[in-house]
Chains A and B, each alone.
Chain A
Amino acid sequence: MTRWTNGDDTRAVSPDITDETNALPANCFTDPEIWELEKETIFSRYWLYAGHGNCIPEAGDYFTRTIGDRQVIVARDEDGDVRVFYNVCAHRGSKMVDETPMTDPGNMGRIQCPYHLWTYDLDGTLRSTPKSFEEASLNADLDDDEVQGLDPDENGLLEVQTDTIGPLIFLNFADDPPLSLAEQAGKMKTRLESLPLGEYEHARRYVSEVECNWKTFAGNYSECDHCQANHQDWIKGIQLDESELEVNDYHWVLHYTHEEDIEDELRIHDEHEAQFHYFWPNFTVNMYGTADGYGTYIIDPIDEERFQLIADYYFADSDLSEAEAEFVRTSRQLQEEDFELVERQYDGLRSGALAQGQLGPNEHTLHRFHRLVQEAYEA
């Protein structure tokens, strides 16, 4: 039974997909307080995608990434390791570097705060401060030899935990994450690390602002019951009835079988199918069955009613062939079709009529997603 707002109550997402309360209550998509809750319960506890290591190949290369209210610097240090620091100076909290997209990275020998010129090595250690922090010439009540020196290790930048899957860099804001990246990724880590993801170059980025809750789009990505009616160009050549939706603890994979065998050169993976990996909470890896490349989506919330879809495409060469460019156009068409669907759904959700929707038996990937959201709220 559908639960409307004219008297029906809502319940937590049932673990049993056959129960009628198998979906998140509608207010989880529209309530600004829920979004504030999610910043802490979802975007501060789990492993989140930070960016692609190929975009910062040299020591000192960096980009910034904003997640919720936090902004970090993702930089490659002198040893070739990628490190992530809060973009916050240890002195008095100033933001240090300006927004720098992964697609147009910067390079710096050291990280310097422009406010009072505190300067840090690429490993986050405090390298130097101006002389005014070493002597008390303006303070008549203090002798220079009373000034405590600043221990470089104790006054470095606040580092964020990082880990990688191939060239994909992940971060976790929690001091003591409940899961390692390997635990959260499960077999996705093994699968992706068996592929030569690092041999592909970033070729295109499209960023779209979509007027719906981020979970609305996540749900749409995670099922294909809507494909037959709404993606008619894309499903040509795909056997939807032979496709499979595989569910794991924190990721799920949509396997789309192709009707005809595509040349092996037109795939990065072995299986004769497209594979769309959703990695909780808001990242996807799109392995196409008809293009020698892959894509990623970041479903980045702006607030409870808008998100940015950051779509990146990776191919052997950043200069695309005509066929690759056409493939990207087809992918963009798919996105636009989905944007229309999710904005339409969100208009309905925002009207306040529906208290709690319900999921179909083939929306089990989406059910897993709703369960994870529920578990995060309760954690």
Chain B
Amino acid sequence: MTTTPYVGTCVDCEERRETNDPNEVVRFYRRHRAVTGHDVVWEQTPSDHGTTNVDTDVPAVVASLVTNPDEGVSLGALSAVMSELGWTVGETLETVHDHRMRGALWEPQDDHVAAV
């Protein structure tokens, strides 16, 4: 247990990232995947992540997390929430991409999403 609220860990090797910024775990995932092909899981997330509505309907989860649509929710915070379902960072990002390509989600700022 660390004092930082967010910890991401590679599923294939021991590499991990502790951070106060959930999107840093997303950046870590991208860097690590680029040179290893590995995915990342959440080892630690805050106990209170701001929603009780966690299911596979990602746009609905996003809608429940967003308080200001012009800002959206960070991909890292969303991924941390989706980890309750056992989703990896890669799986969350892939699903978000699919929903964006269908027009259900948009990106009001870099690496943040909101429901359309």
- Residues on A lying within 8 angstroms of B by beta carbon are 64, 66, 99, 101-104, 205-209, 302, 308, 310
Given A209-B28, A209-B31, A103 and B15 touching (CB < 8 A)? no
Q: Are A208 and B35 interface neighbours, CB within 8 A?
A: no
Q: Are A103 and B31 interface neighbours, CB within 8 A?
A: no
> Complex Cα distance A218/B105, Å?
44
Partner of A205, one of B30, B31, B34, B36: B36
- Residues on B lying within 8 angstroms of A by beta carbon are 13, 15, 17, 28, 30-37
Q: Are B28 and A310 interface neighbours, CB within 8 A?
A: no
Which residue of chain B lies nearest to A298 when distances are taken between CB atoms in the complex? Answer: B35
Query: In whole Å, how far is A216's beta carbon from the nearest beta carbon of chain B?
Result: 19
What are the residues of chain B within 8 A of A308 when measuring CB–CB? 31, 35
Interface of A is mostly: strand
Which residue of chain B lies nearest to A332 when distances are taken between CB atoms in the complex? Answer: B14
Q: Are B37 and A103 interface neighbours, CB within 8 A?
A: yes
Q: Are A302 and B36 interface neighbours, CB within 8 A?
A: no
Q: Are A101 and B13 interface neighbours, CB within 8 A?
A: no
Which residue of chain B lies nearest to A98 when distances are taken between CB atoms in the complex? Answer: B34
Q: Are B35 and A101 interface neighbours, CB within 8 A?
A: yes
What are the residues of chain B within 8 A of A103 when measuring CB–CB? 35-37
Partner of B15, one of A64, A102, A208, A302: A208
Q: Are A101 and B31 interface neighbours, CB within 8 A?
A: no
What are the residues of chain A within 8 A of B37 when measuring CB–CB? 101, 103-104
What are the residues of chain A within 8 A of B32 when measuring CB–CB? 207, 209
Q: Are B35 and A302 interface neighbours, CB within 8 A?
A: no
Q: Are B28 and A99 interface neighbours, CB within 8 A?
A: no
Query: In whole Å, how far is A64's beta carbon from the nearest beta carbon of chain B?
Result: 7
What are the residues of chain A within 8 A of B30 when measuring CB–CB? 99
Query: In whole Å, how far is B6's beta carbon from the nearest beta carbon of chain A?
Result: 15
Partner of B34, one of A64, A206, A208: A64
What are the residues of chain A within 8 A of B33 when measuring CB–CB? 99, 101
Partner of A99, one of B13, B17, B34: B34
Can you list 27 A-B contacts with CB-CB less than 8 angstroms, sorted by A residue number? Answer: A64-B34, A99-B30, A99-B33, A101-B34, A101-B35, A101-B36, A101-B37, A102-B35, A103-B35, A103-B36, A104-B37, A205-B35, A205-B36, A206-B13, A206-B15, A207-B13, A207-B15, A207-B32, A207-B35, A208-B15, A209-B15, A209-B17, A209-B28, A209-B32, A302-B31, A308-B35, A310-B35
> Complex Cα distance A64/B15, Å?
21
